[in-house]
Amino acid sequence: MKSLRFTMSIVLLSLSTLTFAQSNAQKSFDQLKTLTGSWHGPVTTFPKTADIPEGTITQVSLRTTSRGNALVHEMYDPSKPDDPTKNDHPVTTFYLENDRLLLTHYCDAGNRPRMRARTSPDGKTVEFDFLDVAGGTEYGHMHHAVFTIIDSNHHTEDWTYMMPGDKPMRAHLDLQRAK
């Protein structure tokens, strides 16, 4: 009888841990969905690059879709024509898969890296760590992302791109909600 009670305690503890993990993924997803809307702001890169001059303004659109089951993130340079065959226009999707919040980044380099979320204790920062990539990486791939919510009209995004030879390039976006 003691053995049965002990086993049941372990099973219930395991289930409560799973529920906690699901709720963290759901909370993170719900937090990111509060960013739905249009955003704009400067991009800073490390190391600096001629492709993105200092002071470049970017625009980001976040849209909740699929009955609330996905969040679509689109980034573009408003100073360039909206021609995705010639200019960068990466798309990222966020979605829940079982007990995990994942993102898939549809990269201009022609690949699709996936990353898994982890959340800060205060819930204001959602950090995505590299899981895997589909497609070639000869031109590099997106490797890491961090979303920090400052308030309802201000958030930052930090993206790390692994260049060929595993050299990281970082981009910091300081975004304000478009009015």
- The pLDDT tens digits of the residues spanning 105-147 come to 999 899 999 999 998 888 899 999 999 999 999 999 999 999 9
Q: What is the number of helices (H) and of strands (E) in the chain? A: 1, 10
Structural domain tally of the chain?
Answer: 1
Residues spanned by the domain of 54: 2-177
63: Cα within 13 Å, side-chain hemisphere? 7
**CATH number, domain with residue 132:** 2.40.128.20
pLDDT higher at 56 or 63: 63
Position 11 pLDDT exceeds 70: no
Each residue of 17-47: pLDDT tens digit? Answer: 444 444 799 999 999 999 999 999 999 999 9
Please determine, for residue 177, whether its predicted confidence score (pLDDT) is greater than 90: yes
Mean pLDDT calculated for residue range 1-16: 50
Averaged pLDDT of the chain: 87
Residue 68 CB neighbour total at 10 angstroms: 10
CA distances from 122 to 9, 32, 129 (A): 30, 14, 19
Q: In the chain, what percentage of residues exceed pLDDT 90?
A: 68
pLDDT tens-digit profile of 67-110?
999 999 999 888 777 776 666 789 999 999 999 999 999 998 99
What b/e sequence results for 3-34 when a residue is b if at least 16 CB atoms lie within 10 Å of its CB, and e otherwise?
Answer: eeeeeeeeeeeeeeeeeeeeebbeebbebbee
How far apart CA 149 and CA 123 sit, in angstroms, is 9
pLDDT value at residue 20: 45
